[in-house]
Amino acid sequence: MDMCGGLISKESTLIPINEWMSGGSFDADKYIFRSSKVFEVHAQYSCYLVAKVLDFLVTTGEAQEPSLKSPGRQQQSYSSKWCEIYACLDDWYKYRPPELQAVLSHNAGSISAGSRSPFPTVLFSNGAAIAGNQLYHTAALLMLQRIPPKVPRKSRSFLWHARQICAIAMSNEHHGSWTNSIQPLWLAGQVMSHPDEHQAIIEIYQRIEKETGWGATWRADDLKEYWGDPDD
C-alpha cells in the first residue's frame, strides 16, 4: 500500500526504502532477495524495486520533470545510478524463477472471453507471478520514460511495458492482484492512444470494482479526463 501511495502521489514511500530491509545497503538488500529460494520473495523484490525507482526519481527531481537540465557531474551521476537500477530490473526479469514466468502468451488480437482484445494475453499460474511481473513492468515504464541522454536505447520500449501492464490485468482474474493493478494501469493508460485500448482499460477498471468491491473507476475517470474522451 505504501508503494501504491507513492505511485499515486509521485513521491517516495512513507517508509524510507533504506529501511525496507535489514541489509544496510542497496547491494546487501539485492543479495537477500536474489539468494532466496522462495519464489514469492522474488515477487516481493519487484515491489521493492518499484519503491527504489520512485525514491530515485523523486530525489533526483525526475518524477516531475523528465528532461535533464543539470549538466556535468550531476548528469553523469544520474546516468550512472539510472543504469545501475535498470540493470537490476533486467536481471529480475531474466532470472525470474519458473513460478514467476508466464504459462501462456499470445499476441494482441487473440480471442478472450468472446471478444477480440487490443492487448496481448499473458497468463500466470499464481498471484505472486501476476503482481510481481506487473510491478516489474511498472518500474521499467517509469525508468524508460526518463532515460538519460547518451544511454543506449533499450530493446523494449516503455510502450511495450505499458501494454504488458494492461495485458496482465486483463488476462488474469486474481482479485488480490487486481487491486494492486489500479495504479500501474493508470500509468500505462496514459501512454495509450487508440480508442479500443482506452475502452478496454475502462472496462477492466469497471470489472475490478464490480467483482472485488475495491474502488477503481475513479482512476478510469482520471484517464478519461487525461485522454480527453467523452463520458459515453
3-state DSSP assignment of residue 211: helix
- Give the H/E segment covering residue 216: none
Residue 188: domain span: 2-227
**What pLDDT band is residue 63 in, cutting at 50, 70 and 90?**
very low
Q: What is the pLDDT of residues 138-196, one digit of tens each?
A: 999 999 999 998 888 877 899 999 999 999 999 999 998 999 999 999 999 999 999 99
| Residue 204 domain flag | yes
How far is 52 from 124, CA to CA, in rounded Å?
A: 25
| Residue 158 domain flag | yes
pLDDT at 73 over 80: no
| Residue 21 domain flag | yes
For residues 137, 127, 95, 56, the Cα torsion angle rounded to the nearest 10 degrees is: 40
| Residue 59 domain flag | yes
What is the number of structural domains in the chain?
1
| Whole-number average pLDDT of the chain | 89
How far is 211 from 18, CA to CA, in rounded Å?
A: 36
- In percent, the amount of the chain with pLDDT more than 70 equals 89
| Residue 82 domain flag | yes
pLDDT score, position 69: 52
pLDDT at 226 over 90: yes
Q: What is the arithmetic mean of pLDDT over 40-59?
A: 95
For residues 206, 163, 29, 175, the Cα torsion angle rounded to the nearest 10 degrees is: 30
pLDDT at 111 over 60: no
In the chain, the amino acid numbered 179 is T
- Give the H/E segment covering residue 116: strand 115-116
What lies within 8 Å, CB to CB, of 180 at 6+ separation is: 4, 131, 134, 135
pLDDT score, position 150: 84
pTM comes to 0.90
Q: What is the arithmetic mean of pLDDT over 116-127?
A: 92
pLDDT at 89 over 60: yes
| Residue 76 domain flag | yes
What lies within 8 Å, CB to CB, of 128 at 6+ separation is: 39, 40, 43, 99, 100
3-state DSSP assignment of residue 24: coil
| Residue 232 domain flag | no
- CB contact at 8 A, 196 and 118: yes
Q: Which residue has the higher pLDDT, 23 or 68?
A: 23
